[in-house]
Amino acid sequence: MALETDYIVIGSGVAGLRASIELAASGARVTVLTKDKASESNTEYAQGGVAVVLSDDDNAELHEEDTLIAGAGLCDPQAVETLVEDGTKYIKQLIEWGIEFDREGGKLAFTQEAAHSRRRILHAHGDSTGKEIVRALIARARQEKGIVLMPFANTESLIVRDGRCVGVRFLDPILRAPREIFGRAVILCTGGAGQLYLHTTNPPVATGDGMAMAYFAGAEIADLEFVQFHPTALSVENAPRFLLSEAMRGEGGILRNKFGARFMGDYDERLELAPRDIVSRSIVAEMRKTGTREVFLDMTALDEEFLKERFPKIYETCRFYNLNIAKDMLPVSPASHYCMGGVRTDLHGRTTVEGLYAAGEVSCTGVHGANRLASNSLLEGLVFGARSGQAALTDNSEFKIQDSKFNTQNGESENESLKTKIPNPKSEEISTAVKKRVKRVMWERVGILRDKDSLKRALREFEQISEAKLSTSSRNFVTLAKLVATAALWREESRGGHFRTDFPAKDEQFRVHSVQKLGAPISSSAQVNFDVRKANEAQK
């Protein structure tokens, strides 16, 4: 039997939790589906902090300018203005809700990060900012009686009826069988897709399902070619790529090659504080030049007690691998970290499918352009999570939920369509093998440095994989990989997080956004954000 609620939120990171709180405050029933425990998301792993204009020597114009510069000409100025101005309001609200940002002498402590012109980064417990934000938001969400958190509920697809998203198909965590839930609207807050790559700082849940599900539901996807690779992931054999925060370079960390020489001066005058894409490519170039698989982050000029207090989680993690961040050179190399592209939305989280909203890393609002400015991601999730919740309420308050036993995407009855999708061990083995292959191809052919031949070879391989009988999760995974590679092949220039060795310069004719939609060839748009409601009316 299908379930029913007022609003469905998929994901429990900063965007999902903030959207849920906004919805429930109106008295609505909100069901939050998440594939792992409620606190497991990219948000929880965010070390660097959250950028916000609150210090005396800062202002909104400076933060906007820094964001626009990092975005390499593809940021939407209105989206950036919304982020910065609303961000201050919502961070103050978080403080009122009890979040514990680090302080010095009773005042908020602001730190510096790459490409920021001011010290405007707030941290919590040194390098556990995301975890603290999730804690505070979950505590606030539990005060709302209308919110039901459903962990370990893996969403498989969106249910679309007459061009409108009316529900979600998911794996029931108790029955271990597919079920359907219907509501007035669905808000995607599923995070990014770092797991598309062999090496990533993202947790296992960041598989990009939300983007793929939205694509299959008919939503437009924008700017997927822009993938940010974090320059400094811990590179230790048989260890996960643990993120060594941007803030470590902000506090004075130096990058050195295998000979101990500082090398960033050979690539950019901003040295270690250059934007992430430049630092990542510089590291790759240096590794190739010296014939190594890593470079080193040197923090030894800083006091150990300071480092222990400033980066407690990093300090302890490195200790586990027999590294002292105050005394040892830390082996690092780039890893996939953040998706600038995603489901195309307006400034209120509306997608091009009625009833479907998106916020956070799964979305493309135009805030990040071609390259995200450090520590803007938590702020984006907070701001646009709230805004999508507000829009979902306003747009759908009169919509009547009409449960049905028919799935209009494939015309099968609920029982018939669901009973074929119950997972079995053999299909899970195939799924694991498929994802491993995709991850390696993405890393080798659609990674930090790209070219036409490699991208075409990747697409041919993805097409071959797609011909096999795949599970829903595998189909989503391969489809998203194809979309990223297609966009990367289409953009014959280098800009932000996208670098083509065969087109190494920016090209003004590509100062547009890539747009992909099911059943249509890739196209371009002068802007990401537009009046979605007018567009939907025009389509009707």
List, edge to edge, every strand of the sheet that includes 110-111: 50-51, 121-122, 110-111
Q: How many residues does the chain have?
A: 540
Which entry of 18, 135, 249, 276 is annotated as an active-site residue?
Answer: 276
DSSP SS3 for 308: helix
Tokens for 277, please give them: 């894409």
Compute the distance between CA of residue 334 and CA of residue 49 in angstroms, rounded to an integer.
Answer: 19
Residue 74 phi/psi, 5-degree rounding, is -115, 5
- Which run of H or E residues covers position 172? strand 164-172
Strands of 348-402, DSSP E: 356-358, 363-364
Compute the distance between CA of residue 119 and CA of residue 111 in angstroms, rounded to an integer.
Answer: 5
Tokens for 268, please give them: 């950019």
CB neighbourhood size of 240 (10 A): 15
Looking at residue 249, its amino acid is R
440 is catalytic: no
**Which of 335, 444, 496 lies closest to 462 in space, CA to CA?**
444
Note whether 84 and 382 are within 8 A (CB): no
Residue carrying the six token digits 């609620």:
5
| CA-angle at 217, arms to 213 and 223, nearest 5° | 65
**Which of 359, 353, 355, 351 lies closest to 386 in space, CA to CA?**
359
| In 296-376, alpha helices (H) | 304-310, 312-320
- Hey, which residues are catalytic here? 276
